[in-house]
Structure 1
């Protein structure tokens, strides 16, 4: 399961670099995942093309073909099943549908949460971003606050750290089933001494802006 989470995180980074150049048509996105389970709760996110269908017993997650460019889909399916996901199906359009129990989906979300926490710790303790003194989040990882040494931050490239938390936060939101209209991860950077907000950025809006440049 951890291998799959790592793959999805890497795929999201690739999608961010690509911007919106290969966004699937809305009709295709809407048809990528469906379920016939009675009393089904369906939530759909078109940012990144991830669909999450939550039935009574199972959860289906369909990722678009853009997540798997250059990958052998047979190998993707085999790896997913080897990781204990349950079922994985390569679709004719190049997308892949993962069908798992609700308990497996919960496990995946817990691993994604652990990945976010690890990212937060690394930003402060790795030494790669020396101006960052602390990272705080809300419960669903839709809001991050980076406390920084302002002078050191503004005279360095530590601002790239916002991309790391923006990516993992967006990935968590997508797989938790947040609808596209509500998908938003806010990262605020504040002066550790004064609590003044120095700057802020919103994902996935920031990815869209990069794609347009």
Structure 2
């Protein structure tokens, strides 16, 4: 469970790190803000509006359940975003330069790769032998010792992968109604895929 929490905390720090790029990109934000129109978004959708210089990312209200939205906005501004807006439907729109957005996606993918390696080599997930994934972070395969896996809590690793896969896709512009992360659990000895977990469906079933 500690590994799963560390993955999510890494993503928070990624947002902070990307906010450190402040020089010419801020001027680009100011110029483009005067030229672009902000579209109103629905509470359950993520909108990534890629303008000439800026990118606007709107995260749905479900990302902020139980949080103080005013504090979320204040933190975003402290982290270096050009602007963060709390919308009436509970969603939050972040504005950043294209370079910040590109760097953010690269850093998310890098953190996923590092977390995958840590999970594979961790004593906390003894049954896991290998983890592979596609470039869009929409499909992961966890190769395990089936007997050990079925008598452990190593299935929590799938939850972590589902979360980071969803996070990456949403920030890359996949609609919240369309994104999917498929986790296949494969037995190392036989090659059999004996379980498949689909996010976000799995969360709705719980």
TM-score by length of 1: 0.72
2:163 paired residue number:
167
Cα 1:146/1:91, change in 2 over 3 Å:
same
1:102 and 2:108 are equivalent in the alignment: no
Residue aligning to 1:125:
121
Q: Is this contact kept in 1: 2:185–2:196, CA < 8 A?
A: yes
Q: Show CA shifts across 1:74-100 (max 9, x none).
A: 432232122222211223444321111
CA displacement at 1:105 relative to structure 2: 0.8
**2:97 aligned with 1:89, yes or no?**
no
Secondary structure of 2:85's counterpart equals strand
Q: How does 1:137-156 map to 2 (within 5 A)?
A: 137-156=133-152
Give the whole-Å Cα distance in 2 for the aligned partners of 1:58 and 1:123: 35
Q: Is the 8 A contact 1:45 1:180 kept in 2?
A: no
- Number of positions where the alignment pairs a residue of Structure 1 with one of Structure 2: 180
Q: Could you state the TM-score of these two structures normalised by the residue count of structure 2?
A: 0.74
What is the distance in 1 between the residues matched to 2:94 and 2:180? 24
> 5+ residue gaps in structure 1?
10-34
Per the alignment, residue 80 of structure 1 pairs with 76
Contact 1:73/1:90 (CA < 8 Å) preserved in 2? yes
* Mean CA deviation greater in 109-118 or 162-171: 109-118
Inter-partner Cα distance in structure 2 for 1:185 and 1:119: 17
Structure 1 pair 204/68, CA: closer, same or farther in 2 (3 Å)?
Answer: closer
Unmatched segments (≥5 aa) in structure 2? 1-7, 16-33
1:5 aligns with 2:11: yes
Instruction: Give every structure 1 segment of 4 or more consecutive aligned residues whose post-TM-superposition deviation is greater than 4 Å.
Output: none
Looking at structure 2, the residues matched to 7 and 209 of structure 1 have their Cα atoms a distance apart, in angstroms, of 30
1:199–1:71 distance in 2 versus 1, CA, 3 Å: closer
Correspondences of 1:31-50 after superposition (within 5 Å): 37=36, 49-50=45-46
Distance 1:59 1:67, change over 3 A: same
1:190 to 1:94, Cα distance in 2 relative to 1, 3 A: closer
Q: Does the 8 Å contact 2:14/2:104 carry over to 1?
A: no
Displacement of 1:110 in angstroms is 1.5
The structure-2 alpha-carbon separation of the partners of 1:76 and 1:4, relative to structure 1 and needing over 3 Å to count, comes to farther
